[in-house]
Structure 1
Amino acid sequence: MRRGFFAECPLARLSHDFGQFGLLEASASPGLTAELDQHSAAVRDSIQRDGAAVSRRSLAHYLRGFMDGCLERGWHSSGAGYDWETLRLLAICQMAKEYGFVR
């Protein structure tokens, strides 16, 4: 197993349980791809604004904070369409794969 791949990592769980389906569909939709790119840029900016580099740890930390905020607001994925939160989660999955943090 390559360094940085952890079965219990929240990024791995999210990518496995949630990201695979949306990311496959995103490649067929230029509009969705553009939205994911914008969300990825916002996540990168947020991490870097805190003075950190994008790493498995910083992205997982961002994910935990984002999910805590979603839970506090009572959000849950209905599976019907791509709301703002779903797009942000898909962008996090995409980033985790692009950076090599998950397979």
Structure 2
Amino acid sequence: MLRGLFAKCPLSRLSHDFGQFGLLGAHATPGLTAELDQHAAAVRDAIEHGGARISRQSLTHYLHGFLDGCRERGWFSAAIEYEWELLRLLAICRMAKEYGFVR
């Protein structure tokens, strides 16, 4: 993936891009599915702790904040395995699909 790709993508574009790579498909291992479930729970907790409900707007707002934090830390993934940042992004995208915010 190109550096900076995530920082400029809205929720639907990011979800589409991950879908193109097959990372959101049904072929996920049980271990990866469990990790994504844990990240999704953390995202839900963070949004709800702030007093909001899960909506397209609140999830997009969380995504932008998360990406800003990644940019500030200079995060760039060149790893072969899933890093926690990538897992969090995948969980956000999976949530967007599950809640019907993106196709």
TM superposition score category, shorter chain reference:
0.7 to 0.9
Matches within 5 A, 1:1-103: 10-20=10-20, 21-24=22-25, 27-78=27-78, 80-103=80-103
Gaps of 5+ in 1: 1-8
Length-normalised TM-score, structure 1: 0.84
Aligned-residue Cα RMSD (Å) equals 1.6
How many Å apart are 1:18 and its aligned residue?
2.6
Tell me, in whole angstroms, the C-alpha distance in 2 between the residues paired with 1:19 and 1:28: 12
Tell me, in whole angstroms, the C-alpha distance in 2 between the residues paired with 1:37 and 1:27: 15
CA deviation map 1:60-100 (0-9, x unaligned): 00000000000000112326220000000000000000000
- Does structure 1 retain, via aligned residues, the 8 Å contact 2:44–2:54? yes
- Does structure 1 retain, via aligned residues, the 8 Å contact 2:18–2:24? no
Tell me, in whole angstroms, the C-alpha distance in 1 between the residues paired with 2:27 and 2:42: 20
Tell me, in whole angstroms, the C-alpha distance in 2 between the residues paired with 1:49 and 1:57: 15
Q: Go from structure 1 to structure 2 and tell me whether the alpha carbon gap of 1:18 and 1:79 turns closer, same or farther (over 3 Å shift).
A: farther
Would you tell me which structure has more helix in proportion to its own residues? 1
Tell me, in whole angstroms, the C-alpha distance in 2 between the residues paired with 1:94 and 1:48: 18
Gaps of 5+ in 2: 1-8
CA deviation map 1:15-43 (0-9, x unaligned): 0123442112x643000000000000000
Length-normalised TM-score, structure 2: 0.84
Q: Go from structure 1 to structure 2 and tell me whether the alpha carbon gap of 1:90 and 1:16 turns closer, same or farther (over 3 Å shift).
A: same
The share of aligned pairs that are identical, in percent, is 72
**Alignment-derived partner of residue 5 in structure 1:** none
Tell me, in whole angstroms, the C-alpha distance in 2 between the residues paired with 1:90 and 1:66: 12
